[in-house]
Amino acid sequence: MKFILDEAKSHIERITNELIKNIGSDLSFIREIGEHILLGNGKLLRPLLFVLSCKLLGYEEERIYSLSTVFEYIHVASLLHDDVLDNAEMRRNRPSVNTVWGDHAAILQGDFLYARSLIIALSTKNLRFLEKIADATNRMVEGQIMELICSNNVDLTREQYFSIIEKKTSSLLSAACECAAVLAGTDIEKEIALHNFGHNLGMAFQLIDDMLDYISSEDVFGKPVGKDLREGKVTLPLIYAIQEIGEEDRGRIIKLLKEKGNNKEYEYILKKVTQTKAISRTKYDALNFVNKAKRSLDLFDSSPIKDILIELSNYVVQRER
């Protein structure tokens, strides 16, 4: 993430300091697990979006760095739970918390970080700020439940898939951007613009995540690839591939999702997906979302911070991890 190193290094450093400081527990167990996951190779996209959105609005108070941890804590809490649900072994280039400390510790650490995020958010004494966070978390859980219900469903539509990722991923990114406007007490047009920015960026982010699951490698991605298919998760690359392949391969996918199969069969389908237009179509959709995100910023005057947000948007579709 070269641009971040160049342009946003100081913000990232300050956010990282607060992430460790704000854990706020004397229990060494909580601190140890917290540092393992919080100091992993995370992108810190959500707290960074909050900080940059505040600055875009001219809200420069020192506490924005501390408040930004709300968005990373909620995100990490959701990842800790998600890794238990997905039986994930790696996260952020490190063994996942459930792998090292077990499922119980991972779930409880997630609960702890979520509770911490609410305590920190409460310090704003701003009910709308809290409302946005509660609503985003609510939607994240709905997204995960929809994903669970739709697993192994070969008939999942593009629209249903978009609805899942809007809830499970975009809701927190849009809240991070929108909460900056709430805190700064800006007018509703700017609040909506920042909401739209975060929403579209979040959609692009998840599309690229699901695309990289088909084409990246574990070393680069920081987590195993080809996992979505193995977990029965039907994502956009698979939806597009199914539209293009013949009856025989479609039958093989249905069988694989229903009965699970051997490694060779998974490898066959994973390769098949990459041989279709599925990957380029997914990337094209992601680019469209990013362009929409960037257009949402038209309302704001040119500034170095706006340039960073635009660069960050470009990074979301160009990223390899």
Residue nearest Mg ion by beta-carbon distance: 86
The C-alpha atoms of residue 41 and residue 220 are separated, in whole angstroms, by 11
How many CA atoms lie within 13 Å of 308's alpha carbon, on the beta-carbon side?
25
- Please, which of residues 4-63 interact with ligand FPP by CB under 6 A? none
Residue type, 316: V
Integer Cα distance of 39 and 16 in angstroms: 8
Task: Report the largest interatomic distance among the alpha carbons of the chain, rounded to a whole angstrom.
Answer: 60
Partner in contact with 120, chosen from ligand FPP, Mg ion, none, beta carbon below 5 to 8 Å by kind: none
Handedness of CA 183, 185, 188, 194 (dihedral sign): negative
Q: Does 209 sit near Mg ion (CB under 5 A)?
A: no
Helix (H, G, I), strand (E, B) or coil at 125: coil
Instruction: Please identify, among the stretches 33-41, 43-51, 74-82, 203-211, the one whose residues bind Mg ion according to the rule CB under 5 A.
Output: 74-82
Applying CB under 6 A, the span of 58-66, 72-80, 274-282, 303-311 interacting with ligand FPP comes to 72-80
HSE (side-chain half, CA atoms, 13 Å) at 157: 3
Q: Which stretch binds ligand FPP (CB under 6 A): 52-60, 74-82, 151-159, 262-270?
A: 74-82
Q: Does 74 bind ligand FPP (CB under 6 A)?
A: yes
Q: Can you give the length of the chain in residues?
A: 321
According to CB under 6 A, which one of 82, 166, 178, 191 is a site residue for ligand FPP?
82
Q: Could you give the C-alpha distances from 253 to 150, 248, 277, in angstroms and in order?
A: 15, 9, 17
Q: How far is the CB of 213 from Mg ion (least distance, A)?
A: 9
Question: Binding of ligand FPP at residue 114 (CB under 6 A)?
Answer: yes
Q: Does 213 bind Mg ion (CB under 5 A)?
A: no
Give the DSSP H/E element, type plus range, for residue 91.
strand 90-91
> Measuring CA to CA, which residue among 55, 48, 83, 97 is closest to residue 69?
48
Positions 81 through 110 that interact with Mg ion (CB under 5 A): 82, 86
If DSSP codes are grouped into helix, strand and coil, which group holds residue 95? strand
**Cβ 121 vs Cβ 67: under 8 Å:** yes
Piece of the chain touching ligand FPP by CB under 6 A; list 21-29, 41-49, 76-84, 269-277? 76-84
Q: Closer to ligand FPP at the Cβ: 57 or 293?
A: 293
Are residues 210 and 228 in contact, defined by beta-carbon separation less than 8 angstroms? Answer: yes
In the bound state with ligand FPP, the residue whose beta carbon lies nearer, of 241 and 245, is 241
72 makes contact with ligand FPP (CB under 6 A)? no
Residue 140 or 257: which CB sits closer to ligand FPP? 140
210 binds Mg ion, rule: CB under 5 A: no
CB-based contacts of 200, cutoff 8 Å, min separation 6 = 170, 289, 290, 292, 293, 296
Q: How many Cα atoms are found within 13 Å in the side-chain-facing hemisphere of 154?
A: 16
Per CB under 6 A, the list member of 18, 72, 86, 191 interacting with ligand FPP is: 86
The identity of residue 55, as a single letter, is K
Q: Contacting ligand FPP (CB under 6 A), which of 78, 171, 196, 216?
A: 78
167 binds ligand FPP, rule: CB under 6 A? no
Q: Which residues bind Mg ion (CB under 5 A)?
A: 82, 86
Q: Which residues bind ligand FPP (CB under 6 A)?
A: 74, 77-78, 81-82, 86, 88, 110, 114, 137, 140-141, 144, 168-169, 209, 223
